[in-house]
Amino acid sequence: MRRVTMLAPATGLLVIVAAMLTFALSYIGSEKQPPCLACKQSETELHRASVCEITQRLDGFADKLVRIDGRFRNDAGQLSIEDRGCTMHIGFDRERRACGGAWRKLQVTCGVDTWYDGSASARLVGHVAAIPNGNYYAGEKGFVISCLETVQTNPTFSQRIRFVLGRLSPDRKHLRTEAINEKSRLHFSNLR
């Protein structure tokens, strides 16, 4: 009987510490609203378009800096954005830029550069071009993200737990990177 009464407070304390650790390691930080310094661009050169407008006229947006809103999806490293029934492959520019808090929020909600998948509503700035190396769709024409302005979806507790597990286990990221590289290699060998 005495063991049980000692075990209950210890278990409760362990749960509280685990919850606090989860929130501390998945901390988003203060979110900066666009336009922010990281995504600074001239509003006169920035075009606004929907995902459908871009997919219907890819070449018309080739050299234009565009702001889009949509559902950002990460499916085993295959990144896409969708809105109103239209979907487009996306990838990050070599230099990843984001307004304060947006990058971590994307990682936690969508699992970008981690071992799990997810989706979130996001606002992106970029252009239509060949997606750079280091992305699943490298070499294909798509939307290249030059800056992540906002992520509107807040992470759930289970997403935070997955993110923390990935951070505590560095082998998971290594395995995820190998799986993405293998899928990418298979994807391109099927295109030939």
Query: Which of residues 163 and 85 earns the better pLDDT score?
Result: 85
pLDDT band at 186 (very low <50, low <70, confident <90, very high): very low
- Name beta bridge partners: 119: 73
CATH number of the domain at 82, please. Answer: 2.40.50.140
* Secondary structure (DSSP) of 116-138: S-EEEEEEEEEEEEEPPTTSTTT
pLDDT of res. 188: 42
Give pLDDT, residue 37. 76
The string of pLDDT tens digits covering residues 133-144 is: 989 999 999 999
Question: CA-CA distance, 192 to 183, in Å (whole number)?
Answer: 15
Average pLDDT value over all residues in the chain: 81
pLDDT at position 172, please? 53
- Tell me the per-residue pLDDT of 21-48, one tens digit each, with 9 for 90 and over: 666 666 677 777 777 777 776 565 788 9
What pLDDT score does 171 carry? Answer: 62
Among 26, 92, 75, which Cα is nearest to 179's?
Answer: 75
Query: Which residue shows structure tokens 């234009």?
Result: 64
Q: Which range marks the domain in which residue 183 is found?
A: 2-191
List pLDDT tens digits, range 113-126.
Answer: 888 899 999 999 99
Count of structural domains within the chain? 1
- pLDDT more than 70, % of the chain: 71
Residue 101 has pLDDT above 70, yes or no: yes
